[in-house]
Homo-oligomer: A and B are copies of this chain.
Amino acid sequence: MSKLRNISGFPEWLPEQRLAELEVAEAVKRVYELHGFTPIETPAVELVSTLTAKGVVDKEIYGLVRLREEASGTPELGLHFDLTVPFARYVAQHFNDLDFPFRRYQMQKVWRGERPQKGRFREFYQIDADIVARDELPLACDAEVLTVLERAFAAVGLVRYELRLNNRRLLRGLYASLGIPEEKRAQAIAIVDKLDKIGADGVRSELLGELGLAETVVSDLIKSTEISFPASDFPAGLPESAKQDPLFAEGAEELKSILDLVPEQSQAAMVIDLSLARGLDYYTGVVVEVHLPDYPEFGSAGSGGRYDDLASQFTSQKLPGVGVSFGLSRFMELAFSEGLIEGGPKTPSRVLVAVYSEDQRTRCQEVAEVLRSSGVPTEVFARSPKLGKQIDFAAKKGIPYVAFVDPDNNTVEVKDIGSGTQEPIADLGAWGRKLKDLA
């Protein structure tokens, strides 16, 4: 008998957890669909040459080998490590069958071939939403994906959240205004981006040592990373000293155009954060990262930004885009481990039909069928033990109602497990429809 163990990094939920995860996923997907994003799906498997087409990949890739075949050389096929590369390949490959601007969402697992490590997932769900256009993409699209990301977290409703925003031009302009020479800006940004990992002292010493910046410049730079203010204070909250820089002014203008198109309610959750550098080698405009103030250690719960060209490695078409990603599996892990979700039902069933005796089973099935026709998930107890045992089963699984069919006449009584009350139901179909509407 093989021994069972969890494989580290491959999360697996119990039924009640999976139901909770589906509820969260549905809420996010609902927001995306209400904004007209269409669900697409790509295979889990891509050519390794596709996965590595953009050059160096810092994510670890799982290659596939057929167990019955002698392994030889680099595998041809691998599992996707994100949803952006497959989406880029999809858009390039089906270019003539798609209508642009093309807005899609994609909820799929991604795989990272990392060594097992505590807290790191090697298989996890992301829910990405992107809009890509041909040649040019209006800033209204940036505003929309930011809105959609905010609404996704609002719809989930489990945590306080903040969308921290920055803009590449704003950041580069800021660095220029601080007197950092152009050729050192990218590197300086990369160093500051390590703030969370190596701390202010670490950043300071790298800026001084490796980059050879002056003491006062480094001081100002580190101070600038603390600039953070509500989006409603934009652009007033920007540092006066930087506003003269043309690149900075351009970035501010761009961000303003975006924020002007974000509804107030969504804007209320947004914060400008000039320290945010998030992959600015990849993103070319706005960037966003979702923080959970109550869980500062958690890192980002969602992220995204604008990119100039989605699929340059696959097509000569210029396809600018803007997209966001909701980290579903990591979010659920947090929700479970912090007790944000617990004790939910273990089944979709809302009613258990109890069975007095086997000769009543067909009648019980008919009663269940009336409820199902009203849209109420219903199960019939598989055996006919004492009724108390059947009621216990419902209670344990979180089924809120137990129906009893009187063997002598056509009446059905329903017990509410929560309140303990029991009453006859004259019109079961109507009762079921009411129950369904409440759900």
Contacts and interface: CB of A to CB of B under 8 A. Distances in A.
Contacts of A365: 261, 263
A423 interface: no
Of residues A33, A64, A74, A131, which shows the largest number of chain B Cβ atoms within 10 Å of its Cβ? A64
Contacts of A6: 93
A60 B68 CA distance: 7
Interface string A214-245: 00000000000000000000000000000000
A396 interface: yes
A157 interface: no
The residue among A38, A94, A314 with the most chain B CB atoms within 10 A of its own CB is A38
Given A99-B397, A396-B99, A7 B43 contact: yes
A433 interface: no
Contact of A14 (B97, B137, B383): B97
A13 interface: yes
A391 B396 CA distance: 54
Contact of A36 (B42, B316, B347): B347
Nearest to A46: B7
A246 interface: no
A161 interface: no
B316 A1 contact: yes
B378 A43 contact: no
A36 B67 contact: no
A348 interface: yes
A258 interface: no
Interface residues of A, number: 98
A386 to B, nearest CB: 16
Interface string A198-209: 000000000000
Contacts of A49: 2
Contacts of A346: 38, 99
A7 B47 contact: yes
Interface in A89-129: 89-90, 92-94, 97-99, 101, 103-104, 109, 111, 113, 122-123
Given A22-B39, A64-B113, 19 more contacts: A1-B314, A4-B93, A4-B314, A7-B45, A7-B46, A15-B38, A18-B39, A34-B375, A34-B377, A37-B348, A45-B123, A61-B67, A61-B68, A62-B65, A64-B79, A67-B75, A99-B346, A137-B382, A141-B382
Interface of A: 1-2, 4, 6-7, 10-15, 18-19, 22, 33-50, 53, 60-68, 71, 74-75, 77-79, 89-90, 92-94, 97-99, 101, 103-104, 109, 111, 113, 122-123, 131, 133, 137-138, 140-141, 144, 260-261, 263, 313-316, 346-349, 361-362, 365, 369, 372, 375-380, 382-383, 393, 396-397
